Amino acid sequence: METFGNTQHKIIHGDAVQALTVISDNSVDLIFADPPYNIGKNFNGHKDKWETEEEYLNWCYKWLDLCIQKLKPNGSLYVMTATQFMPFFDIYLRKKLHILSRLVWYYDSSGVQAKKYYGSMYEPILFCVKDKNNYTFNTDNILVEAKTGAKRKLIDYRKTVPTVYNSEKVPGNVWEFPRVRYRMEEYENHPTQKPIALLERIIKASSNENDLVMDPFSGTFTTCFVAKQLGRNSIGIELQEEYVKIGLRRLQLANEFKGEKLQKEVRTFETQKLATVHTLKLFEDSNGKYIHGKH
């Protein structure tokens, strides 16, 4: 196990269960846990598949218990897993925490998902707190447009004094955010990268500036990256060195790793664009547009 970073942002390269054991109890304000889902994804050569479902669930119960131990008494836990395992998480966690919301992260997909059953277009997230009378929830920082009031400008005549419907509201429990696609600016080389927008909502709602946010399965370190942007502190744990390198770069904690310069992977369309620019002798103007000849 190796640790990188500074007092505000730490990256632990190692196994989540081992790493969680060394973190102080009752010290973390917000945990976002997005573990392997036991569905056979390839995490840098490591297949995300346990021998049996029981083995997967028993492993999950181990790190879930540790997460609960590390949370402050007013802390919050958001946890994800595959749709087929979430009912087990729910039954396990409701005995230990208060589950306040069962969220659905919904996305559209133009690709064919399934032909003989209904394709999976959502991932479940549980939002749990230790103390339902004392937890952070920054309503004003996550408001979304309420269409009835904002777009249709309807008036509620059932009120004693007729009032225009609110134009903003707290989001409901179905959240639509596009998945991270290859051409998106935030894309990193990882099979299950979560969108910045999803983490922004969670971190804004359930933590304050200078709070400690922890992610035991960091992947591309989206959680820690957003935590940093929002002025929170972070701890990210990740088993794969390849992904730790992404974290070090995204959090600007290092420029190189074991002598290797940390650079974002150039995507195929970027190589093609660069080749065209080179062949046609184009120059980028101050607006980022490619033009013939310098002005």
Ligand X SMILES: C[S@@+](CC[C@H](N)C(=O)[O-])C[C@H]1O[C@@H](n2cnc3c(N)ncnc32)[C@H](O)[C@@H]1O
- Chain contacts with ligand X (rule: CB under 6 A): 15-16, 34-36, 43, 190, 192-194, 217, 219-220, 222, 237-240, 243
Question: Strands, E, within 51-193: which ranges?
Answer: 71-80, 98-106, 122-129, 144-145, 155-156, 163-164, 168-169, 174-176
Coil, strand or helix: which one is 19? helix
Instruction: Answer for the pair 291, 282: CB distance below 8 angstroms, yes or no.
Output: yes
How many angstroms separate the first and last alpha carbons of the chain? Answer: 53
Residue 71 Cβ, how far from ligand X at the closest point, in Å? 18
Instruction: Tell me which amino acid residue 50 is.
Output: W
Question: Minimal distance in Å, beta carbon 45 to ligand X?
Answer: 10
As a whole number of angstroms, the distance between CA 120 and CA 84 comes to: 11
Nearer to ligand X, 175 or 217 (CB): 217
Tell me if 28 sits within 8 A of 224, measured CB to CB. no
The closest alpha carbon to 192, from 223, 219, 226, belongs to: 219
- Answer whether 229's CB lies under 8 Å from 235's CB: no
Nearer CB in complex with ligand X: 131/186: 186
Separation of alpha carbons 295 and 291, rounded Å: 9
Closest CA relative to residue 80, chosen from 114, 105, 49: 105
Least distance (Å) between residue 206 CB and ligand X: 16
User: Whose Cβ is closer to ligand X: residue 34's or residue 211's?
Assistant: 34
DSSP string, 189-246: S-TTPPPHHHHHHHHHHH--TT-EEEESS-TTTHHHHHHHHTT-EEEEEES-HHHHHH
Query: In the bound complex, what is the minimum distance in angstroms from residue 43's beta carbon to ligand X?
Result: 4
CB of 281 to ligand X, least distance (A): 39
Q: Output 46 or 151, the one with its CB closest to ligand X.
A: 46
Nearer to ligand X, 98 or 204 (CB): 204
The residue (of 109 and 271) whose beta carbon lies closer to ligand X is 109
Considering the complex, what minimum distance in angstroms separates the CB of residue 294 from ligand X? 40
If the CB atoms of residues 85 and 149 are measured against ligand X, the closer one turns out to be: 85
Helix (H), strand (E) at residue 290: strand 290-292
Between 16 and 31, CB nearer to ligand X: 16
Q: Please report how close the Cβ of residue 98 comes to ligand X at its closest, in angstroms.
A: 24
Nearest approach in angstroms of CB 217 to ligand X is: 3
> Does an H or E element contain 63, and which?
helix 53-70
